[in-house]
Amino acid sequence: MNNNRLMFLLLPLLLNTISASCSATPPVADVHIHYKWSQADVTSPAQAMAILEQHQVGFGVVIGTPPELALELVNLDPEKLIAVWSPYRQGGDWANWAYDPGVLKRARSALASGRYQGIGELHLIGGFAPAADSGIIGGLFELAAMHDIPVMLHTEFSQPDYLLRLCTEYPATRVLWAHAGALLKPVQVKKVLSQCPNVWAELSARDPWRFVNNPITTADGRLLPEWRDLIEQYQDRFMTGSDPVWPVDQMDRWDQADTGWQEYARFIDFHRYWLSALPPAIGRKIRWENALIFFRRHH
């Protein structure tokens, strides 16, 4: 067995060690939390909150499908959690939301309620995404700027061009870039961060179990040199998240529950592990401080 394979097999043991000593670890901000219709049957709001408490999540951003589900968690601890408004009402909406003429009306009503402090997660994926000048996408970006709230954007393309067009066309809109571009390499992520000061990136699902074709870490859980260089260079604009969705290759099945919350420990501990190797001040920014600043929770 080669060393890389061995280290990959040992990674869960390393993460379990972190989890076992979790009480000694500082709080983390999780900026990508889902609570979906397909999770509610197997994970109650109280159980979800207990999981967050167990893992010292001191601040979290919740996306509901339908959007009202996020409020079931937020209402249990509004000091710790905020909700972002999602246009998704049921499974499969991630592929067609940008073609729904009712999205903008629903968004205006939801934001006027004051219960949501962001918009997202908006999936823009090759083969499903409309033109970047879509009136619905542009309308949501304008609404976000009007309310001074961010848009969480999931782009999944082989190049960063789509996001570059949006972030330059709407410079007053703050963008939280889910998964740091998902499929993109560090040099491509750097292109966006260098050209768009209104974009911050979060690294959820950039773990050994989801976006596996372009990892950010070695097999033993340490940041790859090119990712470490990028993160240190833009240390004020990276955050972490869990994205508790599982199994990811069978997303939103009508006949099978999403058990992402049952996988929460390994998702969040993955980040704690690579963060532990960074200089403490940089690790603290990415783990905690940047999220509070970005979401206007910084005191």
How do residues 216-249 score in pLDDT, each as one tens digit? 999 999 999 999 999 999 999 999 999 999 987 7
**Domain membership flag for residue 233:** yes
pTM reported for the whole predicted model: 0.90
**Domain membership flag for residue 66:** yes
* Total count of domains within the chain: 1
**Domain membership flag for residue 7:** no
Find the CATH number of the domain harbouring 61. Answer: 3.20.20.140
| Domain containing residue 72 | 29-294
Tell me the two tokens of residue 172. Answer: 């007053």
Residue 4, pLDDT above cutoff 70: no
Tell me the two tokens of residue 133. Answer: 């000048």
Tell me the two tokens of residue 232. Answer: 């240190």
Considering the chain, what percentage of its residues have pLDDT values greater than 90? 80
280 Rama class: left (phi>0) / alpha (psi -120 to 50) / beta: alpha
What pLDDT shows up at residue 11?
54
**Domain membership flag for residue 15:** no
CA distance 95 to 92: 6
**Domain membership flag for residue 19:** no
